[in-house]
Homo-oligomer: A and B are copies of this chain.
Amino acid sequence: MGVTIAIDCMGGDHGPVVTVPAALAFLRRHRDAKVILVGLEEAIRPLLVSTASEFGERIRVRHATEVVAMDDPPAIAMRTKKDSSMRVVMDLVKAGEANAAVSAGNTGALMAISRFVLKTLPGIDRPAIATVLPSMHGHTYVLDLGANVDCTAEHLLQFGVMGAMLVAAIEHKERPTVGLLNIGEEVIKGNDVVKEAGELLRNSGLNFQGNVEGNDIYEGTVDVVVCDGFVGNVALKTSEGLAQMIGAFLKQEFKRSLLTKLMAVVALPVLKRFKQRVDHRLYNGAPLLGLRGVVLKSHGSADAVAFENALGRAAEAASNRLIERITERMASMNEVNA
């Protein structure tokens, strides 16, 4: 039996013109999956006209009268917009009508609404946001990238468990390696919280490899890199800035003269392949972990290719028992400690 994904069609910079075509492409690629398209019916329906017969019951449209804006404060979005597309996708997951929710909307609102509607899993204090980044040998999952600042050692331990279970579910690696982001490999490095988290992770039963450093994210030293939301956010944003600068410099150098422009034409196929390899659209879809349901956040500026990748990732997580894996793992850890 395939999974059903509830899609917030109104979220993101582009709304239905991106999310609906992405949903159709997703359905073509995943023959046993279903989608529920949530949002303003009058904005969604016209985009389905030409494919009405192709998918039959695999597409449902669920009208939602409100839209969470990108700049709505999370508390306002949660309290006043009870029929927003973002809220309805969460209600559908909660009711068991959908196996996962995907939205490209306002991150803060998504976090607040998903937490309010779905609640956290037993033993999880705060949900976390994980992302996947390319590495020399594949890719690396990093969490938290949410707003979890001032984390305790226990929070970092929980992030480790959630990250490992995510990789187990999505990548089919049963014993993914976990590293703790620090400023040196030695056990004595870092602040007190990180040192204590290292202790907890060492005794967690996870495949913990000790401290890792920033460069290990891209070297692919471990499958999962654990850090607090502040550090994770800085690492991610710094990477985005550097990648943009390198891209801009490369472009400038090739545009410098007629001769270099000709060189660029010659080198184009190689530059294209290179670009594809680090294409951030491949890595779209950040799971909100620790909730009683699968929720994925797509980048707000995602195009249809990127949004479809987020839908695929949601389907993978839901069909591979992500929530059950985290729940079981947390329960077994608590048994050991009890």
Closest to A274 in B: B253
Verify A278–B249 contact, CB threshold 8 A.
Answer: yes
Q: Which residues in B have their C-beta under 8 angstroms from that of A214?
A: 233-241
Quick one: given A150-B191, A267-B264, A267-B266, are A183 and B233 in contact (CB under 8 Å)?
Answer: yes
Chain B's nearest CB lies how many Å from the CB of A133?
9
Verify A230–B231 contact, CB threshold 8 A.
Answer: yes
Verify B230–A253 contact, CB threshold 8 A.
Answer: no
Quick one: given A190-B149, A191-B150, A269-B263, are A249 and B274 in contact (CB under 8 Å)?
Answer: yes
Q: Which residues in B have their C-beta under 8 angstroms from that of A194?
A: 230
Residue A245 CB within 8 A of the other chain: yes
Verify B253–A238 contact, CB threshold 8 A.
Answer: no
Residue A300 CB within 8 A of the other chain: no
Q: Which residues in B have their C-beta under 8 angstroms from that of A256?
A: 270, 273
Give the distance in Å from the alpha carbon of A254 to the alpha carbon of B244 in the complex.
Answer: 21
Quick one: given A149-B183, A253-B274, A266-B263, are A216 and B241 in contact (CB under 8 Å)?
Answer: yes
Verify B244–A218 contact, CB threshold 8 A.
Answer: yes
Give the distance in Å from the alpha carbon of A239 to the alpha carbon of B214 in the complex.
Answer: 8
Residue A227 CB within 8 A of the other chain: yes
Chain B's nearest CB lies how many Å from the CB of A129?
12
Chain B's nearest CB lies how many Å from the CB of A106?
13
- A179-206 interface (Cβ within 8 A of B): 181, 183, 190-192, 194
Residue A319 CB within 8 A of the other chain: no
Residue A217 CB within 8 A of the other chain: yes
Give the distance in Å from the alpha carbon of A266 to the alpha carbon of B266 in the complex.
Answer: 8
Central interface residue in A191, A238, A271, by most chain B CB within 10 Å: A238
Residue A242 CB within 8 A of the other chain: yes
Q: Which residues in B have their C-beta under 8 angstroms from that of A249?
A: 274, 277-278
Q: Which residues in B have their C-beta under 8 angstroms from that of A239?
A: 214, 238-239, 242
Chain B's nearest CB lies how many Å from the CB of A136?
6
Chain B's nearest CB lies how many Å from the CB of A252?
8
Closest to A246 in B: B246
8 intermolecular pairs with C-beta atoms under 8 Å apart? A136-B245, A149-B190, A150-B191, A183-B233, A217-B241, A219-B245, A238-B238, A243-B246
- In the complex, besides A214-B239, A249-B278, 14 extra interface pairs with C-beta distance below 8 angstroms are A136-B248, A149-B183, A150-B192, A214-B235, A215-B244, A218-B245, A219-B245, A239-B242, A253-B270, A253-B271, A263-B266, A263-B270, A264-B270, A267-B267
7 nearest A-B pairs in the assembled complex, by CB-CB distance: A214-B237, A215-B241, A214-B238, A218-B241, A183-B233, A267-B267, A149-B191
Interface residues of A (CB under 8 A from B): 134-136, 147, 149-150, 181, 183, 190-192, 194, 213-219, 227, 229-231, 233-246, 248-250, 253-254, 256, 260, 263-264, 266-267, 269-271, 273-274, 277-278
